[in-house]
Structure 1
Amino acid sequence: MSKLSPADLDRYIFSRTGAANDDLLVGAGYGEDAAAVATDEGTMVVSTDPISLAAERIGTLGVAIASNDVATCGGIPKWLVSTILMPEPDVDLLDDITAQLDAEARRLGITIVGGHTETVAGLSRPLLSLTCMGPTDRYIPTSGAEPGDAVILTKGAGIEGTAVLATDFSDDLDEAGVDSEMVDRATDFFEDISVLPESAVLGPVATAMHDPTEGGVLNGLVELACASGVRIDVERTDVPIRPETRTLCDAMGVDPLRVLGSGALLATVPADEAEEILAALDAEDIDATVVATVDEVADEDDAGVVYDGQFYTGGVRDDMYDLWE
């Protein structure tokens, strides 16, 4: 599994969006987390996301990831539509999934307003597709980064990936000799997946925000840079990585910057406001670090990310995919 290239997205997705509508303020675009639609009462942010690979906490992750996309665009997640596809009729499995959906939605103050549930032949694991909606007074795109901006990352790389490794691959970690207490701490990272708190702090000043998911923080940076037409040079040593993330990723042979990244928020802010924003995040007990600076490019082909001496301009394959294959 991997994301489509920007060229394929342009050809097969972004050019085929149905009838034009003047109420669509921001539609489908490379790296954009959500759309913006004008309503009589303001702007509505709408996003949809599937989730299938994280079996143990699929409902919890599904709600957090869908609502993150709305919050990352400056919206307040309010409503959720949930589609649940299961490989076979299984009331116990359905009970687990819907209990997780309900608990996480209640925790985040989101109402599940509808959806669809059925079994589908050929599936090997459950598949969820969640659509989240919420109002905003200030839509924030992925494509708004300006040269000179500071790039801020909250929490650290691989938050979601660490939690999924701790649950879906606990037997492998045990065989690799990872301490059980370390795995237990990593499992608690599920509580850090939501980025609603930091979105509220960063939203009023950010020029761009982005939720790194598949492909991790590295892919999130690439999407932000390419969408904004800028270049970002990032050093591995400048990106915060929690000890649990480093230990579990080393044991499984994956790069913390290339694994499921939900739980972190990427944001660009004017450089002269970065220190104040970091202090505001710290006041809310949210770890955050300036990991890079946005650079101007002379040509759009130069837009992208330099990481470990390599230049990236397209989607980064998530290292965790190979673990499921």
Structure 2
Amino acid sequence: MGVDFPKFGKVGKLFFDNIIYPKLGLKRDEVLVGPNYGCDNAVIKINERQVMILTSDPLSIIPALGLEDSAWLTVHLLASDLATSGIPPMYAVLDFNLPVQITREEFEIYWDAFHRECEKLGIAIVGGHTGKFFGIDYTIVGGGTFISIGDIDKYLSSNMAKPGDRIVITKGSAIATTGILARVFPETIEKNFGSDFLKEAQSYFKKFSVVEDALTAVKIGVRADGVSAMHDATEGGVLGGIYEMAIASKCGVHVFKDKIPVSETTKKICQLFEIDPYVSLSEGTLIIAVKEEKVFDLLKILSENGIESTEVGYFEEASYGLWIENPDGTRESLVYPESDPYWNAYINAINKGWR
């Protein structure tokens, strides 16, 4: 069976299931969570009490964001995935394959910012590789792995949601879409909506992290005592992230579309770029599966820490299916978007000469 390789962004479920998943090297019993669709982290049993949790992601230098903000973003995207385990990130291994045109001074600025953010989050950089190579260009300049050690009875994985769990999300839809487009195309956005609007949209950049969201959420308890699973909404947006969590957990799901927050700022930017905010890039949105009796506690502790959150649906038995309920009460199947609309919107804006 032919499986399409995407033009942009991460591969879809069909590609993963047919090309990657059947060939994973040697099977080892201590691997508790390996490569699985919708899972943010790997989990390896160390002994009867402890596990090692790992996640990998690209290292980025995005010229439109600048060196320091690119470093901040890279650290927090990796740390956010690891924090969905409920265990704080501890260690980093980094492989920098840099473009030949980057200067020592530029990399030093980037590295200083990278170090400072790791230090703030309690992450020790313990190894890696750094070099400049022909054929490498911005924005992806390598890959990184973040690692933690945690209690075997207290870590979470995005495949641990259970039927009956409620779904709570933080912040809202298309957080990253809003923040990145406002940084990359400021002239266009300011021309359409004004300078105050531009500043507000650009402020979304610092909302991209879910480290604080995740580590705050687990304070109410984990697994049977509170939070069952967490997942960072990235490509595919909020609906894509909920779909991934349901598939990973072998659950059905019911989502109330009108309960998913979409800010006025996000609405206007998505209309301008012709993007569906519910299925577009949303780093900064944490999807949380939580026991029904702990929903109030979860919403309360997040609010007390200045984190907006909303209950948007619930998980069911797998036989229930995957459903979105529209504002008029009709239902439609929840399906994973073939591609995140952000990528086409970004390319189209470049081709139009938007700045």
TM-score, length-scaled by structure 2: 0.82
- Whether the aligned pair in 1 keeps the contact of 2:232 and 2:241 (CA below 8 Å) is yes
CA distance in 2, matches of 1:96, 1:183: 26
**Does structure 1 residue 180 correspond to structure 2 residue 188?**
no
Specify the code of the residue in structure 2 equivalent to 1:320. Y
Aligned partner of residue 18 in structure 1, secondary structure: coil
Counterpart among 313, 320, 323 of residue 342 in structure 2: 320
Runs of 4+ in structure 1 over 6 Å off: none
Flag the 1:105–1:244 CA change in 2: closer, same or farther, 3 A. Answer: farther
Paired position in structure 2 for 1:115: 128
Q: CA deviation at 1:315?
A: 5.0
The match for 1:11 is: 18
Structure 1 residue 53: deviation in Å?
Answer: 8.5
One-letter amino acid matched to 1:260: L
**Deviation of 1:28 (Å):** 0.9
> What CA deviation, in whole Å up to 9, does each residue of 1:27-54 have, x standing for no partner?
1111000011122571111000125585
Residue 149 (structure 2) aligns with:
135
Q: Could you report, residue by residue, the CA deviation over 1:254-298 in whole angstroms, capped at 9, with x for unpaired residues?
A: 222222211111011111211121112112221111011212232
Report SS of the residue matched to 1:144.
coil
SS at match of 1:103: helix
User: Is the aligned partner of 1:275 residue 2:291?
Assistant: no
Match of residue 287, structure 1, among 286, 290, 308? 308
* Residue number in structure 1 paired with 2:187: 171
| Higher alpha-carbon deviation: 190-199 or 118-127 | 118-127
> Is 2:175 aligned against 1:159?
yes
Counterpart code for 1:38: K
Aligned to 1:97: 110
User: Which aligned pairs between 1:1-325 and structure 2 lie closer than 5 A?
Assistant: 1-40=8-47, 42-50=50-58, 52=60, 54-55=62-63, 56=65, 57-91=69-103, 92-127=105-140, 128-137=142-151, 138-175=154-191, 177-203=192-218, 204=222, 205-298=226-319, 302=321, 304-306=322-324, 310-314=332-336, 316-325=338-347
> Equivalents in 2 of 1:9, 1:244: separation in Å?
34
1:154-203 deviation per Cα after TM superposition (whole angstroms, max 9, x unaligned): 1111222221111112133134x122222222222232222122212323
- Structure 1 stretches of 5 or more lacking a match? none
Q: Give the deviation of 1:125 after TM superposition.
A: 1.8
CA RMSD of aligned residues (A): 2.3
Contact 2:176 2:284 in 1 (8 A): yes
1:93 to 1:193, Cα distance in 2 relative to 1, 3 A: same
Q: Distance in 1 between matches of 2:23 and 2:14?
A: 14
- The CA deviation at 1:123 is 4.2
Is the partner of 1:25 in helix, strand or coil? strand
Counterpart residue type for residue 251 of structure 2: V
List per-residue Cα deviations over 1:49-87 (Å, max 9, x = no partner).
Answer: 125585413321111011111110122101112223333
Distance 1:115 1:172, change over 3 A: farther
Aligned in 2, Cα 1:307/1:65: closer, same or farther, shift over 3 Å? farther
* Aligned partner of residue 247 in structure 2, secondary structure: helix
Q: Which amino acid aligns with 1:249?
A: C
Count of aligned pairs between the two proteins: 321
Q: Which has the larger radius of gyration?
A: 2
Q: For residues 313 and 186 of structure 1, what CA distance do their matches in structure 2 show?
A: 29
When residues 211 and 50 of structure 1 are mapped into structure 2, their CA distance, relative to the original with a 3 A threshold, is same
Any conservation in 2 of the 1:78–1:133 contact (CA below 8 Å)? yes
What is the deviation of 1:120?
4.0
- Work out whether residues 222 and 315 of structure 1, in 8 Å CA contact, stay in contact via their aligned partners in 2: no
